[in-house]
Chain A
Amino acid sequence: MNPLLMTNFEACTKCTICTEYCPVSEVRPAYPGPKQSGPDGERQRLKDAAFYNKALKYCSNCKRCEIACPSNVRIGDVIALARKRFAGPNLSPRDAILAHTDFMGTMATMVAPIVNYVTNIPLTRFFLDKIVGIPAWRIFPKYSWTTFRAWYFNNRPDQTQFAEQVTLFHGCFINFNNPSLGQDSIRLLNALGVGVRLLARERCCGVPLISSGFFGHAKDNALSNAKNIAQALTKTERVVCPSSTCSMTLRNEYPDILEVKNDSWRDRMDLLIRHVYRLMEKGRELNFQRQEIKVAYHTACHMEKLGWSAYSIKLLKLIPGLQLTILPSRCCGIAGTYGFKKENSEYSQKIGAPLFQSIRDSGCDLVVSECETCKMQIQMSTGVPCENPVTILARNLV
């Protein structure tokens, strides 16, 4: 089945509500907007590929157009599929570096202190800015000296003592940059009486590859992950992931964009926080210590697409003393690797400005979001720390 036929693009009534909610068109008039780039443009592209507009690459794949659409058109998918069919190969070395997070992570963690040091030398930043096209002011995530996987296999607490097991899809960010979130995930699941395994082999979910137009490599990753997930599900009840973007990609982008079937396991691949909620509904208990802290919850774009922010909000409220503010749901502007590209970086900050303002206005001590790149963007742009809800829950366990 042609995936375009599943996007419902013929149902578009040309109402333009999607454009009203598009964070990119608000700040970047050169972007034609989701209606024109999506269903409107598609009618023309179906006639002649020459109608393909290169400005479609400015779409940040946030999917907020799809959430707004009253006619149920998957506008973001129409745009992604058009890029897949017409954009041609991406020959930019910079994009290749940004998109291949697992390859770069494997290389960088081997020499992490050197990479972390070198990427912050002004001369390197000057070079990255002028030659490579990554703005000098953008803060890189630090690479970890050991990967999460290496830690898990060498030092993990015994998981076999638990009768129930789940498989953790950790994603690149936990593996190379933030292993502590992986450790927090294990602590939280263990506290619920659940042991944690890893996939036999895990590759990047593919979302940075999709964003930069490396659809072939993204599909290779998807096929490999799909095989490993199916295999893991013969031994464990579920595959869970703390990241909203990886979860959205595995569940939605695999069949919708990459044409990799997941119907045999889609319902058993879950966001970690949602699975925690499910276990607690079944009567498992978690006890939290008191923490007097003002927390602001940010609904990441792909979290909005999953529609699951209610689980995180409900769970955060269980921590005694925690004061919760729900921020207006707006894009932070980073959109994965989008904001790391020099041609997008100015717009990326403009998109995020209203969110940054509402974070400052909230007077919070901490922002909570399930997205790793929102974390980087929010921390860099507001100076307020940002953590996954899993971290806050795990660190407040009694």
Chain B
Amino acid sequence: MRFDVVVLGGGLAGYTAAIALLEKGLSCALLSVGQSSLHFSSGSMDFLRALPDESQVFDLEKGLHDLARQDPGHPYSILGPEKTLELAKKAETAFASWGLEMLGSLSAGNHLRLSPFGKLLPTWLSSKDTVFIPADAEGRPEWPWLKIALLTVKDFLDFNPEIVAAQLKAQGRATSCHMFTCPDLEILRQNPSEFRSVNIARVLDQESNRPFLTEAVKKAAQNADAVFMPACLGFNRPQLAMELSKEAAKPIRLIPTLAPSMIGARLNNQLQYQFLKNGGVLMSKDRVVDFNLVGDQDDSSGSSALTIERLHTENHGDIPIIAKDHVLATGSFFSQGLLSDIDGVREAVFGLDLVNVPESRSDWALGEFFGSQPFARFGVKIDAQTRPFLKGRVLANLKAAGLVLGGFDPIRQGCGAGVAAVTALAAAEAILS
């Protein structure tokens, strides 16, 4: 089966690259081994939160230049601060045109979002129905509200309003906690292990349950400037929190819950919808099992490039998938884009060259769990055109993007989504040129 481009991986990077290519008129297939790690994400997109020297970033342009000095192996530094900035601005425009209603921008710098435990975290873009707190130049919150009501669903275990309230109180906010339920939720609750954000959202999104929701929100809003709710509504109706805000005449905002995350899953669905709308061919639950390279494989000088001629996948068996170009966006260890065992670490599809993997296995991890873990920086090596390498040789018709790349720590540096978006657009640009 022939396509202009085959994208491997259906997460933020894979869909971003694929949609950008489809919009330029290329035919595109996307293979995914299962639903993506977006389902576990807050739904906010981080661009750059901290530098290797642990200093916090709020001015993103300055942050990129500091990063280029401190961390030349970071994908942003490989692309260069100017290029990264240009692509990130392109991503903001692209996301908006794809119907992702996000607040925040590079030019405004990082804003703050609330974690499921009420911690304020600097971030780049947040869905417009989530808690968005502007920050000043030093990263201090500029709270729009003093009195905050926390309204949760009875017996929902993935969000604890008391913990969040304690955090908000430390921020000088006055808080109150409320909960509600409705008959349909009581039925769902009989199965406690499935009483999770998306499943609850599917109940609360139904028109028949709207009166319960409206009543609970209005009650909680009575003595408050804003109502914060766990993100378990608005899955099929992304405008629901905004509609409730109108009814209660107070802002109703969502806080991401522990995984599975409704906002992340919704983001995944919106991207998938755009991909299909633009004529993309989705190959769900398929994986590459074999591939064929052409080029002088024994070239000892290592100067000539190799090209991928065809892929064979689990579902398509003897019928090869042939594309002019390919994007590898398979993610990190969690998404099985990188695999590790007792013998070492490898990139799952092609066995590409990796960066930052120490010789000795004992150097892979630190004893301190929340420390800057070396394994977080493992990943594929790329050049400035996002081309990866195989035994030192460039793969001419393969580009790599997102968390499969090495050289950065998405958790400590708070840059996972930004790297995914920027490298995906860089990969698309490299293919189009």
Contact = CB atoms under 8 A, between A and B. Distances in A.
Interface in B28-47: 29, 33-37, 39-40
Given A29-B184, A36-B191, A267-B317, A66 B285 contact: yes
Contact of A16 (B187, B190, B196): B196
A186 to B, nearest CB: 23
A310 B322 CA distance: 14
B193 interface: yes
B328 interface: no
Interface string A269-307: 000001001100100000000000000000000001111
Nearest to A27: B202
A15 B315 contact: no
A167 to B, nearest CB: 18
A67 B184 CA distance: 28
A70 B260 contact: no
Interface stretch (A18-26, A110-118, A138-146, A386-394): A18-26
Nearest to B315: A307
Interface of A: 14-17, 19-21, 25-26, 29-30, 32-33, 35-36, 40, 66-72, 267, 274, 277-278, 281, 304-308, 310-311, 313-314, 326, 328-329
Given A19-B194, A71-B34, A277-B1, 16 more contacts: A16-B193, A16-B260, A17-B35, A17-B39, A17-B260, A20-B35, A25-B194, A29-B187, A29-B188, A35-B194, A40-B193, A69-B34, A278-B318, A278-B319, A311-B1, A329-B282
Closest 5 CB pairs of A and B: A307-B315, A70-B34, A29-B187, A67-B285, A33-B194
B427 interface: no
5 contacts: A17-B265, A20-B198, A21-B35, A68-B34, A329-B284
Interface of B: 1, 29, 33-37, 39-40, 184, 187-188, 190-191, 193-194, 196, 198-199, 202-203, 259-260, 265, 273, 276, 281-286, 314-319, 335
B194 A15 contact: no
Nearest to B235: A20
Contacts of A304: 284-285
A307 B284 contact: yes
A306 B315 CA distance: 7
Contacts of A17: 34-35, 39, 260, 265
A67 to B, nearest CB: 4
B281 A33 contact: no
Which residue, of B199, B260, B273, B285, has the highest number of chain A Cβ atoms within 10 A? B285
Contacts of B318: 267, 278
Contacts of B282: 329
A73 to B, nearest CB: 9
Contact of A36 (B194, B198, B319): B194
A322 to B, nearest CB: 15
B34 A32 contact: no
A274 B1 CA distance: 11
Contacts of B194: 16, 19, 25, 32-33, 35-36
Contact of A19 (B196, B284, B319): B196
Contacts of B35: 17, 20-21, 68-70
Contact of B191 (A32, A267, A281): A32
Contact of A70 (B36, B199, B202): B36
A30 B187 CA distance: 7
Given A30-B187, A267-B317, A274-B319, A307 B285 contact: yes
A70 B319 contact: no
Given A26-B202, A70-B35, A33 B191 contact: yes
A79 to B, nearest CB: 14
Nearest to A33: B194
Main secondary structure on chain A at its contact with chain B?
Answer: helix
A21 B199 CA distance: 10
Contacts of B39: 15, 17, 20, 70
Nearest to A32: B191
A308 B319 CA distance: 11
Which residue, of A67, A277, A313, has the highest number of chain B Cβ atoms within 10 A? A67
Which residue, of B203, B283, B284, has the highest number of chain A Cβ atoms within 10 A? B284
A69 B319 CA distance: 25
Contacts of A310: 1, 29, 281, 283
A19 B199 contact: yes
B379 to A, nearest CB: 19
A350 to B, nearest CB: 11
B30 to A, nearest CB: 11
B311 to A, nearest CB: 13
Nearest to B186: A29
Contacts of A329: 282, 284
A272 to B, nearest CB: 14
Contacts of A314: 1
Nearest to A67: B285
A67 B284 contact: yes
Given A25-B194, A70-B33, A20 B199 contact: yes
Nearest to A29: B187
A72 B285 CA distance: 9
Contacts of A20: 35, 39, 198-199, 260, 265
A32 to B, nearest CB: 5
A26 B318 CA distance: 37
A17 B269 CA distance: 13
B355 to A, nearest CB: 25
B275 to A, nearest CB: 11
A15 B316 CA distance: 28
A328 B40 contact: no
A69 B184 CA distance: 26
Contacts of A69: 34-35
A236 B35 CA distance: 39
A278 B317 CA distance: 11
Nearest to A69: B34
A223 to B, nearest CB: 25
A22 B259 CA distance: 17
B193 to A, nearest CB: 6
A311 B33 CA distance: 19
A25 B199 contact: yes
A328 B260 contact: no
Given A15-B40, A33-B191, A277 B316 contact: no
Given A32-B191, A36-B194, A307 B286 contact: yes
B122 to A, nearest CB: 27
Contacts of B286: 307
A3 to B, nearest CB: 19
A67 B287 CA distance: 12
